[in-house]
């Protein structure tokens, strides 16, 4: 059992002669490039916000832009996505506005999840982005279930389930892939093997030579791809989704990529990995790779590159300052959405809290959470 070489269309060195896969014309490629850039800017700004003490947590996507944007670009609007906390790029590519994304980081009154969850837990029913749980791998059997529902109901829709290399060790991974195999769910399992689960390298996560090989335990195909190659990501995911929608059953895709930044703002990766390793992956940067390709094909020029970067900065800055200006949700929202309708107990607790606030016993929350709070 030796590790298979990942599929690749665009090598780090260039690959100007490669034709883009079906579905990616120059215009579309340019828009994906733009989103990758916006994503990286958003990521940097969010990390800075945390360092400046303006938000209390962030988990960055840098290095994984091609995997996120490429896979999300392959989705049709009716497809359901189950992201993890790292999939800012999936939210962006599915059409969530930067403003809505920033609202979530602040947990403000306009946040779609009502300030109920930590930063990075975006969700938008409108965009078919299911609520994220911080628990690793719990979404995997859920995504199998949604794919089962799509199959049972004969829908022309599929489900994509995101997770990391670490998640493959959880019992829920096994449960989800096994159910999907048995019921031929319309689910595509998209693993971003970014080499690390916080401080644990993937080689300590499993003795298997790849993540993709694990599909053989469930009776369907596993494909290993270069996750920093937008073209191969898009093509592979698109084909797997089409197969799923047409009743061909699930696919496991292992996208080899790298978490360039820390696991989260609570982490310092210099404690457990070498600068050399990081450098190796820096040379495989997904954005630069795509940019080189677009340049080589003559689909982008230096001026455009600069404009895209400048626009991205401006958009992200505006989104953040707008989000930061919004205050926290109202206290009574604490008791909403526990059930469809509040129970008598919750009604009483709501009255109790409002009364305590009115009497000045409990002080009103006036800020969104900041670092160290």
Partner 1 sequence: MPVMNYIQALNSALNNAMEEDERVVVFGEDVGRMGGVFRVTDGLQKRFGEKRCFDTPLCEQGIVGSAIGMAIGGLRPVAEIQFMDYILPAYDQIANELATLRYRSGGQYAAPVVVRTPCCGGIHGGHYHSQSTEAIFTSVPGIHVVMPSDPYDAKGLLISAIRSEDPVLFLEPKKLYRSAKAEVPESPYEVPIGKAKRLREGEHVTVIAWGVMVKVCEKAVDAVAEKGIRCDLIDLRTLTPLDEEAVLSSVEKTGRVVIVHEARRNTGYGAELAALIAERALLSLEAPIRRVTGFDVHCPFTLDPYFLPDPPRVALAIEETARF
Ligand X SMILES: Cc1ncc(C[n+]2csc(CCOP(=O)(O)OP(=O)(O)O)c2C)c(N)n1
The distance of closest approach from Cβ of residue 147 to partner 1 in the complex, given in angstroms and rounded to an integer, is 7
Q: How far apart are the first and last CA of the chain?
A: 49
Of positions 149, 208, 278, 296, contacts partner 1 by CB under 8 A: 149
Q: Which option in Mg ion, partner 1, ligand X, none does residue 274 bind, with CB closer than 5 to 8 A by kind?
A: none
Q: Pick the catalytic residue: 204, 270, 272, 367?
A: 272
Q: Total binding residues for partner 1 by CB under 8 A?
A: 86
Q: Pick the catalytic residue: 259, 284, 289, 292?
A: 259
Window 61 to 120, contacts with partner 1 (CB under 8 A) = 80, 107-108, 111-118
Closest by alpha carbon to 184, among 203, 158, 161? 158
Of positions 34, 38, 86, 94, contacts ligand X by CB under 6 A: 86
For residue 4, how far is the Cα from the chain centroid? 25
User: Is 218 part of the annotated catalytic residue set?
Assistant: no
Q: Which option in partner 1, Mg ion, ligand X, none does residue 86 bind, with CB closer than 5 to 8 A by kind?
A: ligand X
Question: CA 78 to CA 74: how far, in whole Å?
Answer: 12
Q: At what angle do helices 286-296 and 65-73 cross, to 10 degrees?
A: 60
Which backbone phi and psi does 107 adopt, to 5 degrees?
A: 60, 40
- 231 near 24, Cβ under 8 Å? yes
317 binds partner 1 (CB under 8 A): no
Q: Helices in the chain by DSSP H: which ranges?
A: 26-51, 65-73, 88-93, 98-106, 139-152, 171-183, 230-245, 275-282, 286-296, 302-324, 344-358
- Is 131 or 169 the residue whose CB approaches its own copies more closely? 169
- Is 125 or 271 the residue whose CB approaches ligand X more closely? 271
User: Is 162 part of the annotated catalytic residue set?
Assistant: no
Question: CA 136 to CA 264: how far, in whole Å?
Answer: 15
Window 212 to 231, contacts with its own copies (CB under 8 A) = 213-214, 216-220
Question: CA 243 to CA 221: how far, in whole Å?
Answer: 11
DSSP code, position 130: P
199 binds ligand X (CB under 6 A): no
In this chain, which stretch among 24-32, 60-68, 91-99, 341-349 interacts with partner 1, using CB under 8 A?
Answer: 341-349
Question: CA 20 to CA 296: how far, in whole Å?
Answer: 13
Which backbone phi and psi does 80 adopt, to 5 degrees?
A: -100, 135
The distance of closest approach from Cβ of residue 241 to its own copies in the complex, given in angstroms and rounded to an integer, is 19
Q: Total binding residues for ligand X by CB under 6 A?
A: 15
Q: Pick the catalytic residue: 38, 245, 263, 289?
A: 263
Q: At what angle do helices 286-296 and 26-51 cross, to 10 degrees?
A: 150
Window 250 to 289, contacts with partner 1 (CB under 8 A) = 266-267, 271-272
201 binds its own copies (CB under 8 A): no
In this chain, which stretch among 30-38, 130-138, 179-187, 333-341 interacts with ligand X, using CB under 6 A?
Answer: 130-138
- Is 309 or 357 the residue whose CB approaches partner 1 more closely? 357
Q: Which option in Mg ion, ligand X, its own copies, none does residue 136 bind, with CB closer than 5 to 8 A by kind?
A: ligand X
181 binds its own copies (CB under 8 A): yes
User: Is 307 part of the annotated catalytic residue set?
Assistant: no
Q: Residue 312 region, left (φ>0) first, then alpha (ψ -120 to 50), else beta?
A: alpha
Task: Extract the tokens encoding 49.
Answer: 């916000």
Gyration radius (Cα) of the chain, Å = 21
Window 151 to 180, contacts with its own copies (CB under 8 A) = 169-175, 178
Task: Extract the tokens encoding 133.
Answer: 């749980």
State the residues that interact with its own copies by CB under 8 A.
1, 169-175, 178, 181-182, 184, 204-209, 213-214, 216-220
Catalytic residue list: 259, 263, 272
State the residues that interact with ligand X by CB under 6 A.
86, 134-136, 163-167, 194, 196-198, 259, 263
């Amino acid at each position: 059992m030796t590790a298979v070489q990942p599929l690749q269309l665009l090598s780090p060195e260039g690959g100007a002669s490669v034709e883009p896969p079906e579905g990616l014309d120059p215009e579309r490629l340019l828009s994906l490039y733009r989103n990758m850039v916006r994503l990286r800017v958003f990521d940097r700004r969010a990390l800075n916000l945390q360092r400046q003490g303006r938000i209390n947590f962030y988990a960055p996507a840098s290095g994984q832009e091609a995997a996120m944007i490429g896979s999300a670009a392959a989705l049709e609007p009716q497809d359901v996505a189950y992201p993890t906390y790292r999939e800012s790029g999936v939210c962006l590519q599915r059409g969530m506005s930067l403003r809505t994304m920033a609202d979530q980081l602040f947990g403000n009154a306009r946040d779609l999840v009502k300030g109920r969850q930590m930063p990075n837990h975006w969700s938008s029913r409108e965009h078919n982005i299911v609520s994220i749980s911080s628990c690793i791998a719990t979404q995997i059997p859920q995504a199998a279930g949604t794919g089962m529902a799509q199959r049972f109901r004969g829908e022309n829709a599929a489900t994509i389930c995101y997770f990391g290399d670490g998640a493959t060790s959880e019992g829920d991974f096994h449960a989800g892939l096994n159910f999907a195999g048995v019921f031929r769910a319309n689910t595509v399992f998209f693993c971003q093997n970014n080499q690390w689960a916080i401080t644990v390298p993937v080689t300590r996560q499993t003795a298997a030579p790849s993540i993709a090989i694990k599909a053989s335990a469930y009776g369907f195909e596993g494909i290993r791809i270069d996750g920093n190659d937008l073209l191969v990501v898009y093509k592979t995911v698109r084909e797997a989704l089409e197969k799923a929608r047409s009743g061909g059953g699930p696919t496991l895709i292992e996208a080899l990529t790298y978490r360039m930044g820390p696991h989260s703002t609570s982490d310092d990766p210099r404690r457990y990995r070498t600068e050399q390793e990081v450098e190796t992956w820096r040379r495989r940067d997904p954005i630069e790779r795509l940019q080189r390709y677009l340049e080589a094909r003559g689909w982008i020029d230096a001026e455009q590159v600069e404009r895209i970067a400048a626009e991205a900065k401006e958009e992200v800055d505006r989104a953040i300052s707008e989000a930061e200006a919004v205050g926290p949700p109202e206290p009574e929202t604490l008791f909403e959405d526990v059930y469809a309708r509040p129970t008598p107990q919750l009604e009483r607790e709501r009255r109790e809290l409002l009364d305590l606030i009115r009497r000045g016993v409990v002080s009103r929350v006036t800020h969104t959470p900041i670092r160290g709070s």
